[in-house]
Amino acid sequence: MSRAPANDRSAQDLRSGKDLRSSKDLPPDGFDDADAFREDSAKDLSEDTSDTAQADDAPEIDFDFEEGAVKAGTEVIRRFWTTLPTSPGVYRMFDDKGDVLYVGKAKNLKARVGSYARGQAHSNRIARMISQTAAMEFVTTATETEALLLEANLIKQLKPRFNVLMRDDKSFPYILVTADSEAPQIVKHRGARRRKGSYYGPFASVWAVNRTVNALQRAFLLRTCTDSYYENRTRPCLLYQIKRCSGPCTGEIDLGDYQGLADSAKSFLAGKSNAVKDRMREEMQAASETMEFERAARFRDRIAALSAIQGTQGVNTQGVEEADVFALDEQAGQFCIEVFFFRNFQNWGNRAYFPKADRSMTPDEVLASFMGQFYDDKPAPRLVLVSHVIEDAELLAAALSSRTEYRVDIHQPQRGERKNLVEYAQRNAKEALGRRLADTASQGKLLVALGQSFGLAAAPRRIEVYDNSHIMGTNAVGGMIVAGPTGFAKQHYRTFNIKSEELTPGDDYGMMREVLQRRFKRLVKENPRTAREAAIAASEGGAAEPVAEAASESDTLPAWPDLVLVDGGKGQLDAARVALEEIGVTDVALVGIAKGRDRDAGRETFFVPGRPPFKLPPRDPTLYFVQRLRDEAHRFAIGSHRAKRKRELIRNPLDEIAGIGPSRKRALLHHFGTVKAIQRAAFEDLAKTPGVNAATARAVYDFFHTHG
C-alpha cells in the first residue's frame, strides 16, 4: 500500500483485512526549513487537532528515554507531513520492526499529523510513541464518520501498543427466532447474523440465554431441534411428551396456529410482554368458564413461565425500554468499564471489561476509544448512556447510526432514572476493579512463592500446564492452559490432537513428547530468542532474527513460559525433558506433579530435574495454587477430549463424500430415511432422489461400494 496522500485505496479495502503492513520505505521528500514547518503547522493545527489520542498540551516533562530518539521520530513524521492532504482519514505509526504502534483518525490528516511534529509539549506517552516511529501509512476517507469506523476496525485487527485495547472481544449470545422454515425455531445464537430471522439481545451470558429459552419453550412450545431432525421425524419427540414443544414436526399442531405461537414469542421478546400475558389470562379465563380445565392449566403454566423470565432479570427499569449503559472506574492506573444491557424494560445482564490503556490517558478518552471498538461487530441500541462526557459523542453517534436503520443517541444523564442506572453501573465497575486489583496482588504473592518453591530465579510471569486425555488411546488430545499475574489466560489455551500413528494406544509418555515438541517447535519458529534458535527458525521459514521480548507489563504475558508443569510423575517429566532437549530448549523450568496416594489432593509429589522428589506442606497456599493449575489443565483436557469424542459419535459417513453438502445430505436422508438404506441402495435409486444428480449419485454409490 502506498503512503502517498493520493492513496486510492478505500476504507472498504482495509476493512477486508488486506495487506495492512506493506513496505516501510520513507518518501524522498525531506523537510529542510524548520521555521517554515512550525509556521505552517501552527496554521494547520488551528483548523483541527481532534482525534482519539490528542497531543496533550501539558508542560514538558523529563522523559525516561533519549531526547535524540524523539527528534528522530519527529523528523520521520515531518517528512510524511509535507505531502499529506487536508481531508479526513486514518493514519498508522510503525516502529522499525514493522509493528503497528498507533492507529488514529483525523478530520484533517495534515493538521493532525502536524501536531505530532511540533517537537514539544507532548505527554510522556505521546513522546514515547514518537520516539519509536520509523514509518507511517495513511488512507483517506470521504467523511470523518467513516474514518472513525475504520479506526475502530483496524485497532481490533492490529492491536497497536499505544491504543486503548478491548481485552475481551468474545461475541455476546442472542436469542434467534428463525424465519427460514415453515416452523420457526428458537435457539441461542453467537456470531454473524447471517441466518434469516429475528434476533433479540444481547445477553450478558449463555446461562441467561439458556434460562430464557427454556422458559420461552414452556410458555410458547416452540421447537429447538435442528431442521434436519425436524424434517425426518415420524412421531413426536420427548419434548412434546413433557409439554415443552407443540409438535409441528408430525402435525400435532396446525402450522398456522404454530406461527401464532411464534409471533407471540417475538412480541414478548420485543417488549410487548404485558399484552401477551393479558391475552393469555383472557384465554385461561375463557377456558376455565367453559370447563376446559386442562387447557386453562396450560395457560396458567405458560403465564408462570413468562413471569419467571421477568422476575429474574435483576434491576429492571420503568422508563428505559432499550439502552446500553457504560460506566468507567479508574484505580491505581487501571481501568474497568462495566456494560449493562437493558431491553424491553428488563436488565439482560452485564459484563466487566478491563481495557489496556496508558495511565496518562483520561477516563473520557479511554471510554470513547473502547466504545468505538465495542460496537465494531454489533449493532447499538437507540440509547447509549455513559458515565463520562465524550468529546466526539455526536460523531460516534453518527457513526453508529450509519450502521443501523434508526438514530442512536449517546447521553450522559444528570438526573432521574437514567442517572441512577449509570450510578448503578459505575458502582459495579468500582467493585469489579477492586476485586481484580486484590486478586492480582494475591496472584503476585503466589507467583513469588511458587518461584521460590521450585528454585526459580524470579517469580514466573507465564506458566504453562500440560495434560493429556483419552480412553484406551482413542480420541486422544493434549491440553495446554496458561496462567500469569492476572490469573488464567484462557485466550492462550491450546488443544493438540494427537496425530502420530507410531504411538501405541494409551502411551502417555509418547503423547506428552508429541505435544511439547509441537508447542516448542512452533515457539522457536515464531519467537526465537537466540541466534541459534533464529537459525533453526529460518530453516523452517520462520523469523530469521531473534525476537526481543516485549517490555514487561503487569498484565502482558511473554511468548515463552518461565515454568512448565506437566501432570504426571518422573516418567512424564523425563518425556517432557527429552522432547525439549531434542529441540534445543534447555532453559525452561520443568516440574512434574504426581498425584498422591489414592489420588488424594494434598499429597502430591513434585519432580524437578536435578533435585530429589519433594512435597509441599499440606496447608501451604502454594500447594493449593498448584492444585488449581493442575485441576484447570485436567478440566480443559477432559473437556476437549469429550468434545472430540462427541463429534466422532455423531459423524455421518455422508460427510466424507466430496460434493455432498448439507442440502444433498438432507435430501438423501429424507428420501431413504437412514444411512444404511442409502448404503444398500442401487445407483438407479440414488439417481432418482430429488435434488441429486447422476454425478452425485455415482459418487455416493462408489463411496459405499469401495469402502464397504
Task: Decide if pLDDT at 552 tops 50.
Answer: no
| Chain segment 80-103, per-residue pLDDT in tens | 888 788 888 889 898 888 888 999
pLDDT > 70 fraction of the chain, expressed in percent and rounded = 82
| More reliable by pLDDT, 600 or 40 | 600
Query: Once rounded to an integer, what is the mean pLDDT over residues 221-229?
Result: 86
Which contiguous run of DSSP H or E holds residue 582? helix 570-583
Residues 6+ apart with CB under 8 A from 605: 569, 593, 594, 596, 613, 614, 615
Please check whether residue 574 is in contact with residue 475, taking contact to mean a CB–CB distance below 8 angstroms. no
Cell of 500: 502420530
Residue 297 pLDDT exceeds 50: yes
Sheet holding 186-189, edge to edge: 186-189, 174-178, 197-200
Residue 290 has pLDDT above 60, yes or no: yes
Cell of 473: 488411546
Are 80 and 109 contacting, i.e. CB atoms less than 8 angstroms apart? no
**360 contacts 288 by C-beta, under 8 angstroms:** no
Q: What is the C-alpha separation between 433 and 426, in angstroms, rounded?
A: 11
Among 233, 214, 234, which Cα is nearest to 222's? 214
Residue at grid coordinates 444411512: 675
**C-alpha distances out from residue 295 to 214, 268, 302, Å:** 21, 21, 11
Rounded to an integer, the average pLDDT of 641-667 is 78
Mean pLDDT value across residues 36-46: 38
How many angstroms separate the CA atoms of 89 and 590, rounded? 50
Mean pLDDT of the chain: 79
For residue 597, name the pLDDT band (cuts at 50, 70, 90): low
Do residues 298 and 243 touch, judged by C-beta distance below 8 A? yes
Element (H, E) at 304: helix 293-311
Contacts of residue 261, Cβ cutoff 8 Å, sequence gap at least 6: 220, 221, 222, 246, 253
Q: Express each pLDDT in 441-466 by its tens digit.
A: 888 888 999 999 999 999 999 999 99
Give the DSSP H or E segment for 206: helix 206-220
Q: Is the pLDDT of residue 536 over 90?
A: no
Q: Which residue has the cell 484462557?
A: 490
Please write down the long-range contacts of 43-46, taking CB distance under 8 Å and 24 or more positions apart.
44/86, 44/108, 44/110, 44/111, 44/114, 45/111, 45/114, 45/115, 45/118
The Cα 585–Cα 265 span in angstroms is: 59
All structural domains of the chain: 11-158 (3.40.1440.10), 174-311 (no CATH), 322-435 (3.30.420.10), 463-647 (3.30.420.340), 653-707 (1.10.150.20)
In the structure grid, which three cell numbers stand for residue 466, read together? Answer: 500440560
> Residue 494: what pLDDT?
93
Using 50, 70 and 90 to split pLDDT, how confident is the model at 19?
A: very low
Supply the pLDDT for residue 128. Answer: 85
What is the model's pTM? 0.56
